Structure 1
């Protein structure tokens, strides 16, 4: 199955809870829970030392506002990107959150996630 064949509503029913978990576990610094829905290829490419530093030292990644502003979906190939407006509890301004989803072994997985 290709995720881009799902309706927006079907994708959002999957994407929103996954995004909410990323924010929650980022704020908690719970690395193991944060990466639990990552694709195998994404996990292989992660630098665990750098990720650990981010969780330990990044004011932004530990103080994200839980409420999300969904901006839209972008379909490309076998993946869909969900875009969110992100705010911080401690820093002024807004950031763009991006989460790329697709199927891996019949299950929806996160193929990329970032905040710009």
Structure 2
């Protein structure tokens, strides 16, 4: 299976649900729920202690607005990158959210997620 073969609508439906979960669990500082859709390679690099420190120190990571805006999809190889305009409930301004999705063992997983 290759995720790039899905339609934009199919990808955005999957991605939006995963992004909403990431926002929710980031705000809660819930590492287990936050990482539940991560691929095995992505989770291997997501050290729980370091992520806990990031959740504790980052005002942005604890105050993401659930009102994000889907911007589009980029297809490349066996992955798609889904872009979002993300806001904070406490900090003024906008951030770019990036979610990289692909298949791992016949299931769509998160291979990358960042806000910058």
Q: Same fold (TM over 0.5)?
A: yes
Structure 1 segments of 4+ aligned residues over 3 angstroms from their partners = none
Tell me how far 1:114 sits from its aligned partner: 0.4
RMSD: 0.7
Distance 2:16 2:45 in 1: 24
TM-score (norm 2): 0.97
How far has the Cα of 1:48 moved from its partner? Answer: 2.4
For residues 88 and 13 of structure 1, the distance between their equivalents in structure 2, rounded to whole angstroms, comes to 22
2:53 match: 53
Correspondence for 1:88:
88
Aligned to 1:3: 3
Distance (Å, rounded) in 1 between the aligned partners of 2:48 and 2:33: 14
> Mapping of 1:66-81 within 5 angstroms?
66-81=66-81
Contact 2:55 2:62 survives alignment (8 Å):
yes
Cα distance in 2 for partners of 1:44, 1:59 equals 25
User: What is the CA-CA distance between 1:57 and the residue it aligns to?
Assistant: 1.6
Structure 1: segments with no counterpart, 5+ residues: none
**What residue is the counterpart of 1:99 in the other structure?**
99
Unmatched 5+ stretches in structure 2? none
TM-score (norm 1): 0.97
Matched residues in 2 for 1:54 and 1:45: separation? 14
Does 2:31 correspond to 1:31? yes
Count matched residues.
116
